[in-house]
Amino acid sequence: MCGIIGYIGERKAQPILLNALRRLEYRGYDSCGIAVSSSSIEVYKDAVRVGELVKALPQFDGTIGIGHTRWATHGEPSQVNAHPHYDCTGNIAVVHNGIINNFQRLRQQLINEGHTFVSETDTEVIPHLIEKYYQGSLEDAVEAALGDIEGSYAITVLMAGEPKLVAARKDSPLIIGIGDRENFIASDVPAILEYTNRVIYLEDGDIVVVTPHSLKVRTGGTEVEREEHKISWSIEEAQKGGYEHFMLKEIHEQPKVIRDTLAGYVSEAESVFDLAVMRDDGVESMLILACGTSYHAALVGKYIIEELLRIPVRAELASEFNYYAQTLAKTGAIVITQSGETADTLKAIKRLKEVGCLTLAIINVVGSTASRIADQTIYTRAGPEISVAATKSFMAQLVVLYWLVMSHSKVDARRLASMLLGLRQMPSKVQQVLDNEDKISEVARYLSRYEDVFFIGRGINFPLALEGALKLKEISYIHAEGYAAGELKHGPFALLSGDTPVIAIVTQDNTYEAMLTNIKEIKARGSPVIALAGEGDEAIRELADSVITVPRVNAIFSPMVNIVALQLLAYYTAKERDCSIDTPRNLAKSVTVE
Ligand code: F6R
């Protein structure tokens, strides 16, 4: 959700903190701030983007500091609500991600004890609690303060005159970056990748004391060792590489993402995970859980698993799954999450574990919380996805889902070979869609004039209608709804007019004829129709007002080409409307609160 950075070393902290905040801005960006310590603590924060903060910021000289980009939960975006927050003396500064559930009670208690609060945030209780418990050891005071807190947190604490940073996590990610005579604390790898690729992932309950030359992790009062990991992404992968936006770069990376993800698994001597394991364990049906775009991948997964393996599959929203009674007997579960930190998805994994469901997680971010709590993890190899709108991670999720189905030990060799061939052709098919960018941007110019748009699809492309609508609404702020094509006449027809274009995803499979009928019905109600259709489809040209052509592929793989066209359509529409594409309003990259 929000982004955290901490620096301690021999260099001036300020430029490093600001650099990191720029890279973290995708995690939350309604306000930001830094605190730097020398003999006292200097804080500067505001309800602005990092670029504006940099322009207004005075020069701080200290070599220890913390910074934060915020995505508001408690209290509107404002200067006082921005982080860092500090205690009454101004000597203790804290940045925090997560939510403190009992903050109202703690706040009242602290006010009764004489503390003065200036913000509406839950975070502000933390520096006051540390102040209350401080008796000469910052880490002991932090530990005591956290003992009072119920909720989730990743925090970093700075205290005037103390040559150290103290950090802690519970249900919110935090890493330590290990440098040469300097160390870093961050909520996410891209923040520190320019300085080091050596990281330690903190675990829930860890409190760490970081100096320029050392770090000590303790958990439950005992000192523990945490394994060091090497990040394999390069800094270039976490930068724009000449593209105007991360989103466009990430869309264009998709042929490579397919190759990398396939290469990672197809070359393995043994399949990474055999879905048959679930069946052999007495599992008779499957459940796929996820949120947002990952949920749309889950829906595609349902189609391909049911179609090819004939196993009953339910795909559900993790946020809903957590709140109703479930029949989970003899069920195997897959969860899909790019970040591995989505609160609803993590909660779902915990619930699955409680009832003894074998849980396989498909995750992009290595070392994320989901990978540590699921029974087994398969990593998508999409690399860092910076733009808030998920694009290449969705593609990589699809590749893993296809591969899971293909590597099922009950799939016969001929079928496996033919599917593998199809999948291996997908990078060049996706490239053909990318090469059609000019035509798609032309359609986007037309679409950008409207305020309401429907997306329709059938069968395996129904989830693509949902995803196309999600992409368009989140980055262009056009109201868009995805529907199963057959459902439009059960209500939404009332909204059709010349002002509501319909984007129809047309596939050459058993849904084709029904789709043409739906398009005719829509045209009869006066709505302009933009069709996404395979090469050589002449019938659709006669019907639709505009056609975006995609290469013909086996229908089972059609989501992989259709999604690229839909992503580009959303991107160019948002660009036409001059929107903040990589950091859309009110959103954040990973949603670590329920
Ligand atoms: C939309 C988008 C979100 C995420 C959702 C789940 O473009 O990015 O809908 O897909 O927040 O996130 P993960 O996959 O990290 O669990």
Two structure tokens written together for 84:
């860092």
Confidence of residue 453 (pLDDT cuts 50, 70, 90): very high
Residue whose CB lies within 8 A of the most ligand 1 atoms, among 1, 251, 294, for a mutation test: 294
Question: What average pLDDT does the structure give for the chain?
Answer: 92
pLDDT of residue 30: 82
* Nearest ligand 1 atom to alpha carbon 293: 10
pLDDT of residue 158: 97
* pLDDT above 80: residue 265: no
* pLDDT above 60: residue 270: no
Whole-number Å distance, alpha carbon 370 to ligand 1 midpoint, is 14
Beta-strand relationship, 198-201 and 228-230: antiparallel
* pLDDT above 50: residue 20: yes
Whole-number Å distance, alpha carbon 392 to ligand 1 midpoint, is 12
pLDDT of residue 576: 97
Higher pLDDT, 134 or 238: 134
Whole-number Å distance, alpha carbon 84 to ligand 1 midpoint, is 27
* pLDDT above 50: residue 84: yes
Q: Which residues are catalytic?
A: 2, 589
Whole-number Å distance, alpha carbon 252 to ligand 1 midpoint, is 19
* Nearest ligand 1 atom to alpha carbon 291: 6
CB 382 within 8 A of CB 261: yes
Q: Helix %, strand %, coil % for the chain, to 5? A: 40, 20, 35
Alpha carbon nearest to ligand 1 atom 4, residue = 292
pLDDT of residue 39: 81
* pLDDT above 80: residue 33: yes
Two structure tokens written together for 145:
């303060």
Residue whose CB lies within 8 A of the most ligand 1 atoms, among 591, 592, 593, for a mutation test: 591
Least confident of 153-157, 267-271, 520-524: 267-271
From residue 532, how far is each of 40, 115, 328, 480 by CA, in Å?
61, 61, 38, 16
pLDDT of residue 101: 84
CA 129 – CA 132 distance, rounded (Å): 5
For residue 559, give the nearest of 433, 441, 440, 383 by alpha carbon.
Answer: 433
CA 136 – CA 342 distance, rounded (Å): 37
Residue whose CB lies within 8 A of the most ligand 1 atoms, among 188, 316, 320, 342, for a mutation test: 342
* pLDDT above 80: residue 233: no
Alpha carbon nearest to ligand 1 atom 11, residue = 292
Beginning with the edge strand found earlier in the chain, give each strand of the sheet holding 285-290 in spatial order: 313-317, 285-290, 331-337, 359-363, 376-379
* pLDDT above 60: residue 269: no
pLDDT of residue 365: 86
pTM of the model: 0.82
Of all residues in the chain, the percent with pLDDT exceeding 70 is 96
Higher pLDDT, 116 or 383: 116
Q: Give pLDDT tens digits for 303-357.
A: 999 988 888 999 999 999 988 777 788 888 999 999 999 999 999 999 998 888 8
From residue 570, how far is each of 393, 473, 484, 567, 576 by CA, in Å?
16, 8, 19, 5, 10
Whole-number Å distance, alpha carbon 128 to ligand 1 midpoint, is 34
* pLDDT above 70: residue 28: no
* Nearest ligand 1 atom to alpha carbon 292: 9
For residue 174, give the nearest of 160, 191, 159 by alpha carbon.
Answer: 191
CA 163 – CA 64 distance, rounded (Å): 8
* pLDDT above 80: residue 278: no
pLDDT of residue 275: 72
Whole-number Å distance, alpha carbon 589 to ligand 1 midpoint, is 7
Alpha carbon nearest to ligand 1 atom 7, residue = 389
Alpha carbon nearest to ligand 1 atom 16, residue = 337
List, chain by chain if needed, residues with CB within 6 Å of any ligand 1 atom: 291-294, 337-339, 342, 345, 389-390, 470, 474, 590-591
pLDDT of residue 138: 97
CB 122 within 8 A of CB 70: no
